[in-house]
Amino acid sequence: MRFVYCDESGYEGEKLIDSTKPLFAHASVLMSHADAAALLASLRSRVKSPATSYRAGHLLREKHRPTLRWFLSPDGPVAGLGSVFLLDKAHWVATRTASLLDIPVESLDHSPYVLAAANDMLRGKDQPGVVDEFFRVSGLDDAGRERAELFREWLATDRVANSVLDPLMPALISAVKRWGPATVVHDRQIMLPERRVELIREQCDGLMTGLRFVAIEDCPQIQVADMLAGTVRALSERPDDEMSALAARFVAADSFLV
């Protein structure tokens, strides 16, 4: 049985606008426990931090640039063994909104205020008045209002299963299609209840053989995935010519970017 180990960075559930990070990243790695543990031991000898658990922030410090270069290099410890699904949060909200209203995405105002109202309209939270607020700030005519109201009614019937925003779903589908057939081993995640997992499994064309949750502290492979997700996300948000080129090698072809 094959196991793929996953963790995310920049995740705030369905809150995608006015969030702290413009990109969501989800890394998947195909490594043995021994190889991942050896990688972490090597990182510890290079970084020499007293921290009990290493994160992307350790590698992104300027003084550890040589270690980051080693970690991401084409002949480095994760080369060929890791993949990162990136999603531009604003673009995701705009695209999902345009799809709901059956309009070209270019016709939607992409200002943060309008996208925040769109985000509220598409979220599973019970938020009375969100359709009215979206149409008030968006400048769109009322042609799509009925579709939006019907969507809210449908969403309320199962806010978990009917989510159209949560980036974990396309991310996990991407990981399974990249590495499957495989069982996903993921850091503990409350946003993946059984019903949502079943929907993901249905969209994976039989390639997802299971899903297990473990604590990141107990799994060196997930710690590697965490660092890969965080470094690739940060280098994609704040480009650094040399390091961003190395990070780009890990970006999944089906990432959702502008």
Tens-digit pLDDT profile for residues 33-55: 999 999 999 998 888 877 667 78
* Span 185-205, average pLDDT: 90
Query: 80 CB contacts (<8 Å, ≥6 apart)?
Result: none
Report pLDDT for 214. Answer: 94
Nearest to 25 by CA among 68, 78, 85: 85
Cα separation, 97 vs 99, whole angstroms = 5
Cα separation, 229 vs 56, whole angstroms = 8
Phi (first) and psi of residue 77, to 5 degrees:
-75, -15
Give me the percent of the chain exceeding a pLDDT of 90: 78
Q: Does domain 3-88+165-248 match CATH 4.10.830? A: no
Cα separation, 258 vs 248, whole angstroms = 15
**Which band of pLDDT confidence, cut at 50, 70 and 90, is reported for residue 19?**
confident
Which DSSP category does 88 fall into?
E
Tokens of 65: 């640039």
Report pLDDT for 55. Answer: 81
59: left (phi over 0), alpha (psi -120 to 50) or beta: alpha
Report pLDDT for 125. Answer: 86
Please tell me whether residue 140 adopts helix, strand or coil conformation: coil
Residue 210 near residue 38 (C-beta atoms within 8 A): no
Residue 167 near residue 93 (C-beta atoms within 8 A): no
Q: For strand 182-187 and strand 3-9, is the pairing parallel, antiparallel, or unpaired?
A: parallel
**Which band of pLDDT confidence, cut at 50, 70 and 90, is reported for residue 87?**
very high
206: left (phi over 0), alpha (psi -120 to 50) or beta: left
